[in-house]
Structure 1
Amino acid sequence: MAIDGSHLVAVLVRHGVMPLELGIVHQLFGSAQSPDGRPLYDVVTCAPEPGDIRTDADFTIRVPQGADVVARAGTVIVPAAHVPDETETEGRLGTALAAALSRIRPGTRIASICTGSFVLAAAGLLDGRRATTHWRSAGHFRELYPRVRLDPDVLYTDEGDILTSAGEAAGIDLCLHMIRNDHGAAVANDVARRTIVPPYRDGGQAQYIPRPVAEPASPSTSTARAWALRHLGEPISLPDLAALESVSVRTFTRRFREEVGVSPAQWLTRQRVDRARQLLETTDLPIEKIAAEVGFGTAVSLRQHLHAAVGVSPRAYRRTFRGPR
């Protein structure tokens, strides 16, 4: 979703909004700039009904903008609220919230942070789609919204025009992901540096879910991961990685998934795709050379993996984020 010019992001808040989630959106999208320093987004907070909105802290926020903002927005983001409403107690939208969401134009990108996903589900926007929410709310979410394909293990989901994220910190991952898709890795990485957060976190929220302790804490797989990142262009096998940690393949695979949240193969593919995107954006290397540099071997393999990740071919991606040279 490459975006030209300033893009209006409406943050639709409700009573009980978490200040951190609201601040995340403003900080990240508000920090995104073009190479000449031009702001790439206009971020506006709005509410179903303008006025004082209670937060989950000991203060309120004044929100003078109402639902008319969502009617003009290119992106609408719904943060969580720690005051349960009809979306979490009855599986439906309240009158004011339903009226606000009805103002969203067709084609608008809609995203949620944490349990803001209950709002999107109540509106029917997630029916038949893959979505996530905070792992502590996953069971309740499934009971209320069985038609949603809930994945509680990931940090965020991207269904094109509908995106969801897990806990509040996963909202950072989601916002950076949207910025990256809109304007490329260079802009997203600059936003991450300004905010002093990683541009991409490994794995999903599965690694944060408490589990019964069955054995002493497992050693980290960080040595193998660091080595793999330095050797992406080479063939990398599970036995190679396991040997670096001096464990069996079975033990390494289990520890890796527990620590990172995905399988070694999934993680490695993601790293190679991200490296390919960086090279497409910042170099004039031929597609075949990039495929070899990142370990996909052939241009055909790179095209297949990039298309699966972002929906476009390497040449189309380069045209969008690097432009003609």
Structure 2
Amino acid sequence: MKIVIVSDAWHPQINGVVRVLEITRRELTAMGHDVTLITPDQFPQIPLPTYPDIKLAVTPSRKLARRLRELEPDALHILTEGPLGWAARKFCRRYNYQFTSSWLSKYPEYIAIRTGLSTSWLYKVLAAFHNQAAYTMVTTSNMMETAKEVGIPRVVCWPRGVDLSKFRPVASAEFEGLPKPIMLYVGRIAPEKNLAAFLDLELPGTKILVGDGPDLSALAKRYPSAVFTGSKVGDDLVKAYCGADVMVFPSKTDTFGLVNLEAMACGIPVAAFPVTGPKDIIGTAPVGAVDEDLSEAIKRALPMKAKDCIAHAQTFSWDQATQKFLKNLVAFSAAAP
């Protein structure tokens, strides 16, 4: 099958959406499919206001339409709701082509945090975008219900996996000498990640934050007792996970949180708020804790065993996730009138 995936998230961004896109392309290619990505680096770009590390495609509609005509895909998937996503949606709507979409991040909350705009209005825009899709893929059954609540009716599940060949227990002296327990956060250092809820906690041990983003400098100055390492990838990221005692995930706006699975695969339990994503990953397994009191979640998660975390992570397969993605796709052809 010839598959085209349109995404506004791509390198040099380091985030869960980019990792999902990379892994899905790898898995689809290994299955024998022809996968083409249409990403911002193929167009003129401008930095996203308030987050200059993210580059957005400028006026992409004409070039993107030409690319789609040239490629003649069997299936088109729109991964994100940015300029490229809207341009692809516009093309499909104009010619009545079918496509699928993904709702991967709670952008209304992100935008509201940064701009003060109403989330109710932003969710109307989000629903309008996805309601043109044959199906909208979300990560969990809870997100399926949330999508329907905000007005997206045709929803299917596209689960997530974890790369167990990469994320596994290894010897690590990454944070040796620092007061324990080591409480680790991995992700963007940005307003929507609710990091103050973690950094304001008065707990024994050391708070470590791995990642980059627009709030890095300000938070490093505001919380001098915390350790900000910047971004880590590859083996360095694995060693960071394995050097921790607990993974702390304070975000309330993510729809999944791939880093939580990565931490579990390394034998590290997770502490989080009881929101979509962490509560879906953890479920009733003894691999982490969710609580409206984040400090209580950390205390409950810390004693949990590495072997249980690893075994739980092994139930999340990228092969199964990619098979589900394939099943959800529709033919890139004119929809029935």
- TM-score, normalising length from structure 1? 0.35
**Bigger helix share:** 1
TM-score (norm 2): 0.34
